[in-house]
Copies of this chain bind each other. A is one copy, B any other.
Amino acid sequence: MLTRSSTELVRQRNSVLVLAALRRHGALSHTEISDFTGLSSATISAITADLEKGEVIEKSEQQAASGRGRPRVQFRPRRDCGYLIVVIISSDGVQYSLVDYAGTLIDRFSEERSHDPHGAARFADAVGEGLERLLSRSRLSRTKIKLISLSSKGLVSSDDAVLLWSPIFGSERIDFEAALRASWQAKIILDNETLLVAAALGAREDAGNPDGLRSLAALSLGHSIGLGIVRNAGPAEREISAPNFGHMLHVANGGLCRCGSRGCIEAYAGFYAILRMAFEVPDDTIPAKFVPVGELDKIAARARQGHRMSAFAFRQAGVALGNGLSRLLSLTERMPVAITGPGTRYYDLLRPGIEEGLAQSHMVRMQGMPELRVVFDEPLLVFEGHLNRALSVIDGDIVQAGFHI
């Protein structure tokens, strides 16, 4: 609101509006774009002509037969306008994906991550090598890569692509911007993984019913706990954030967390915490680095057969999550919570605790229990979130640069 406006800016904004419509609804004709954006037909002519001359969009070959009258000619993004690399960093490894401007996957491979403990410094270089490999396999010009979109669990400074805290490297920071800037002129962004899940769910949601949803939280359960929030601020404008939920204080002087603090939510609801409690290990024991899922499956099986301590471990985990969510909801507005991640397989065991933990707060007593839903297929959502976010960033950059830099 408080920066000066000019007529050129109007054109820029309306151009990204057109591109966004194309992303959301696929190939569109002149009149459809006009309908979706609310811009007049004449303006659409002007903008599409510009975008076409700038080699950003192209006329689709197959024109949708629309009955009588002059046939519609559809526009769509040009695949070769620019390329995007998606890098998903997980505890097992790193997945590299090359995607074109139309959002279709071109190449993908994964690399094992060395579990070198003091490898934080080296890790950024390893990612650099992975990127080089992807580029050389593609035979594309380096300048065609417009954006490198990274994601990881943990705490992230998204402005400057610095990983501040991660489950694997702790508080050894990794500055991807600094590490990659020399070799790439592509923009580099880094987001929290669960934030992207939330973004994807939000996009799916209001693809179904536009402006139906106000906000939504995604809670990812696994070895660590992630949370992403998407909030509809203003007309069709989404705002996303990734609070440091897993390491929010659950109880003062509580169980020892992987991060070195005591009493974090993760120290009760992370996989290692459930394991610790199920085996009645003192809660100041140093947490296990990795817990195979099979191990937790066994505990879950025992809990389902009535083993008291195993059931209690899941219930305690649920209460920690429920209390945390209640605190979150006290600070925001009421919103539905989508639960994802490998931990969803134990949702039957966690749910009673979550509801108990939620019910202990003023907020829930006043406004009722928030809607809880379980969403599977987390990896797919992460990738979808990358695409949603990255492609719209590229759109903005291209338009701002006056098509083609």
Closest partner residue, chain B, to A357 (CB atom): B252
Closest partner residue, chain B, to A263 (CB atom): B360
Contact sample, A vs B, 13 pairs, CB 8 Å cutoff: A1-B13, A3-B38, A165-B366, A243-B332, A244-B331, A247-B361, A248-B327, A248-B363, A249-B323, A251-B251, A261-B362, A264-B361, A327-B327
Any B CB within 8 A of the CB of A16: yes
Any B CB within 8 A of the CB of A183: no
Any B CB within 8 A of the CB of A4: yes
Any B CB within 8 A of the CB of A207: no
Residues of chain B within 8 A of A357, CB atoms compared: 252
* Beta-carbon contact of A365 and B331 below 8 Å: no
Contact indicator per residue, chain A 335-348, by CB within 8 Å of chain B (1) or not (0): 00000000000000
Residues of chain B within 8 A of A260, CB atoms compared: 362, 365
Closest partner residue, chain B, to A260 (CB atom): B365
Any B CB within 8 A of the CB of A17: yes
Any B CB within 8 A of the CB of A236: yes
Residues of A in contact, count (CB < 8 Å): 54
Q: How many copies does the complex hold?
A: 2
Given contacts A235-B2, A244-B331, A248-B331, contact A362 B10 (CB under 8 A): no
Any B CB within 8 A of the CB of A257: yes
* Beta-carbon contact of B5 and A249 below 8 Å: no
Within 8 A of B (CB), among A1-52: 1-7, 9-10, 13-14, 16-17, 20, 37-39
Any B CB within 8 A of the CB of A268: no
Cβ contact of A328, chosen from B3, B10, B236, B331, cutoff 8 A: B331
**How distant is A222 from chain B, measured CB to nearest CB, in Å?**
18
Given contacts A1-B16, A10-B7, A330-B243, contact A323 B248 (CB under 8 A): no
Most buried by B among A244, A332, A365: A244
* Beta-carbon contact of B10 and A5 below 8 Å: yes
* Beta-carbon contact of A236 and B17 below 8 Å: no
Q: How far is the CA of A17 from the CA of B236 in the complex (A)?
A: 24
* Beta-carbon contact of B20 and A2 below 8 Å: yes
Contact indicator per residue, chain A 239-250, by CB within 8 Å of chain B (1) or not (0): 000011101110
Cβ contact of A252, chosen from B14, B237, B261, B319, cutoff 8 A: B319
* Beta-carbon contact of A14 and B7 below 8 Å: no
Cβ contact of A362, chosen from B247, B251, B252, cutoff 8 A: B247
**How distant is A144 from chain B, measured CB to nearest CB, in Å?**
26
Residues of chain B within 8 A of A261, CB atoms compared: 360-362, 365
Any B CB within 8 A of the CB of A253: yes
Q: How far is the CA of A38 from the CA of B4 in the complex (A)?
A: 7
Any B CB within 8 A of the CB of A171: yes
* Beta-carbon contact of A10 and B10 below 8 Å: yes
* Beta-carbon contact of B5 and A13 below 8 Å: yes
